[in-house]
A and B are shown apart, each in its own frame.
Chain A
């Protein structure tokens, strides 16, 4: 058991490393880049302050107090989070006030409680200073005790947030186009029977309020960056001048981008893709001291947001490991069932992860499995036993569905290979690597052509891993594949998810390979774990997808043209889109290699029905 655990940890670590190695994580840069904005937005500040109620002021004052402890980095970070939250609450309250008077009392409570909390946190941070997270946490919890509202109010607020999001785009659209009354009307219609003029006025007020609130939130966000910049510039001074120059150059470019990005980052809804959530620029706010979001989950969320952990398998493993930590630390309150309470506790954590980055299908399946396990725990089972059971269930899930399954898939796929095959693959795929490894072991020397997308260039990691295997490898961009197709004998890719109708959801670019394979009559082999099977039907890549960071596309290649489109968001008719997934229809897939066997795509519904009916049919 201990050995397996070690193995698993090693695996997670490995995944992290692989991804970190090959990703230019620009997180610190981002923060720095935002600094130059400070001035422009601060100009707006006076405008917004008189209209926005107390919270903003209080936050500002808290900001001053924060400056005093500027060097205490951790403290600042956490305070930031709280503050951000306060800002959001503020925004919400605005909306609520104009919408319905009912919740005003509650909002008032929140408003008053929030500032209190921020101050307190700062204090505690000062007091406790350089202590580890956990003891810190317990102390903090004690101090915040007088205001129990935040803990209880948070789920409610989340709901508000949820409610808000679908409404917002519609309203914003109206702001832009003025004429159409599509979603906004429907949303407002619920408020009751008022005259059209009244409704219109109300809506305008609401929009105005929202805009102001948003502006205020932004100024805050920018202000927070201010001290950081000072620290970093100090560091820069120390470092070599060349590096400094480089950085400042980068900053100048970035700042322009960020400025334009911040002006209307959420307003830009791409036609046809308006339903997809915009990639999160910042980790969603979470209360510092609450026990609701587990620290492991929060760390994971931030890592996922920054794509430090990428790829569905890595995400599933790390999610399950984080949730296992949550279960480890979980204690059943008295007069409550473990199964019921734990399920409730899991929900906001899962939601948090989802807010950081939209869940992949595989993650969704894994979480469903865990919820199913939690729900099926008998109410009279002692806590220790139940936790043990859940932990072993998670470990077994990872072992059976991922670790063991991977090697089985690799050997199944390797059995399809023939000597001197030329394999075309796309981007980084652990399964394809394992397959090549297994084929080499069988004595089939295969050549691998790695097609890669320019952004993100995950294929580089693939090439590096293959180089370690002594496999003849060719690296080409995906724009180039038609030139190699006649020499390729098989196309092998890994799927992110397999749909009920046999369609394959893969990283964007997979379909291009499938089409090329079909045109040249080459077998298109898809490797996939069965836990990534999904009981939805997908026929196109539009309905279910994820938006990537469009700015990265604009800035991606570092050539002479880099940065020409930096201000694309200000150009009215220009839309830059970066989609994460695409959907390959079942008809283009020759075989699906799963851990069960080599299957046609028509076997997918059978497998789902037989193996996952109990888990997938839950909601």
Chain B
């Protein structure tokens, strides 16, 4: 890019600056920034550049799923106003329109967490025991909100190897005054009969309502489902993606491993995957900014968005 703007460094910087920001939002912001500094002269050139930028972003060492879905939706949204774009006199005014729509989009993305909080007001009740896996910003926000409203509940957090994000989650919860215990990933089966509900985040929601999420989610959801514990997923609608994995072995490699491993030409068979796929049968409800959805409602929203 011109002016020595590197989209991936900007993106990583964004992620560092605001820990509460979802990678999808950071990616969208990075795209906005490149749009601002862009010097394309035609719409076609611009769209080609945007796609290139998206490719660059997907090669950074973060969870690719939500970045890709965020970028996809962003491009979709800003170019949706075709009528308006065609009426624009020149590309400068076109860019104005795109920037305006982009701002709108980022704003709505940032508000989605608030909407999730609203839709999940009564999710946590007094005396509840909740199991969660890894560190989800949405789950953290909902729990904090419940604690602020004076709800008394306890939380079990899995350690969630390999990055031990569960430890961070426990620290965050404790700092908000929520009693919590870190358990081994392998102890889910032992603990699950003590809990009332399982609350999870997701990196991506597939068209059939299944989720792609941090490795181990499938284990937790499956065991909870077997013990008839409700599994609630807290997720923003910009993480909806238009694919259906048939099973875990059909997940694309770009989802499973981060870019540095894919590029290092290591034997992928011996590498640990980063994410897994949880089929919709194991999920009770999705709490999203669009409201509380059953898994079967995801496809309708996606079809509306993309056609």
Q: Chain A: residues with CB nearer than 8 A to chain B? A: 416, 418, 490, 521, 523, 525, 590-591, 597-600, 602-603, 606-607, 610
Contact = CB atoms under 8 A, between A and B. Distances in A.
Given A523-B247, A525-B246, A600 B303 contact: no
A79 B300 CA distance: 57
A603 B208 CA distance: 8
Interface string B279-307: 01000000000000001110110010001
28 contacts: A416-B246, A418-B249, A523-B246, A523-B247, A523-B250, A590-B244, A590-B246, A591-B208, A591-B246, A597-B242, A598-B207, A598-B243, A598-B244, A599-B244, A600-B208, A600-B209, A600-B280, A600-B296, A602-B209, A602-B295, A602-B296, A602-B297, A603-B207, A603-B300, A603-B303, A606-B300, A606-B303, A610-B307
A606 B246 contact: no
A418 B242 CA distance: 19
A603 B207 CA distance: 9
A610 B296 CA distance: 17
A271 B207 CA distance: 42
Nearest to B294: A602
Contacts of A599: 207, 244, 299
Given A591-B208, A602-B209, 19 more contacts: A416-B250, A490-B246, A521-B247, A523-B247, A590-B246, A591-B246, A597-B242, A598-B243, A599-B299, A600-B280, A602-B208, A602-B295, A602-B299, A603-B207, A603-B303, A606-B299, A606-B303, A607-B303, A610-B307
Contacts of B244: 590-591, 598-600
Nearest to B297: A602
A523 B297 CA distance: 21
Interface in B51-72: none
Given A600-B244, A600-B299, A418 B209 contact: no
Contacts of B246: 416, 490, 523, 525, 590-591
Interface string B178-209: 00000000000000000000000000000111
Contacts of A591: 208, 244, 246
Contacts of B296: 600, 602
Nearest to A598: B244
Contacts of B250: 416, 418, 523
A599 B298 CA distance: 11
A610 B300 CA distance: 11
Interface residues of B, number: 18
A598 B303 CA distance: 11
A465 to B, nearest CB: 25
Interface in B205-250: 207-209, 242-244, 246-247, 249-250
Contacts of A523: 246-247, 250
A603 B295 CA distance: 11
A602 B244 CA distance: 13
A418 B249 CA distance: 10
A258 B303 CA distance: 55
Contacts of B247: 521, 523
A616 to B, nearest CB: 17
A606 B207 CA distance: 13
B281 to A, nearest CB: 8
A435 to B, nearest CB: 14
B267 to A, nearest CB: 17
Contacts of B243: 598
Nearest to B296: A602
Contacts of B209: 600, 602
A590 B280 CA distance: 10
A591 B300 CA distance: 15
A607 B304 CA distance: 10
A469 B290 CA distance: 48
Interface centre among A416, A490, A590, A602 (most CB of B within 10 A): A602
Nearest to B207: A600
B44 to A, nearest CB: 25
Contacts of B297: 602
Nearest to B300: A606
A387 to B, nearest CB: 33
Interface centre among B209, B242, B299 (most CB of A within 10 A): B299
B99 to A, nearest CB: 31
B37 to A, nearest CB: 35
Given A418-B250, A490-B246, A590-B246, A610 B303 contact: yes
A432 to B, nearest CB: 16
A220 B86 CA distance: 75
Nearest to B247: A523
A518 B275 CA distance: 24
B254 to A, nearest CB: 15
B96 to A, nearest CB: 33
A526 to B, nearest CB: 12
A523 B300 CA distance: 22
List the 9 shortest-distance A-B pairs measured between CB atoms, nearest first: A602-B296, A600-B208, A523-B246, A603-B299, A606-B300, A591-B244, A606-B303, A602-B299, A600-B299
Nearest to B304: A606
Contacts of A598: 207, 243-244
A179 B247 CA distance: 58
Nearest to A523: B246
Nearest to B279: A590
Contacts of B280: 600
A356 B209 CA distance: 44
A607 B242 CA distance: 15
Contacts of B208: 591, 600, 602
Nearest to A597: B242
Interface in B242-286: 242-244, 246-247, 249-250, 280
Nearest to A522: B247
A460 to B, nearest CB: 29
Interface centre among A525, A597, A600, A603 (most CB of B within 10 A): A600
A606 B250 CA distance: 26
Nearest to A502: B296
Nearest to A593: B244
A602 B298 CA distance: 9
A102 B249 CA distance: 73
Contacts of A597: 242
Nearest to A604: B299
A521 B280 CA distance: 14
A590 B246 CA distance: 7
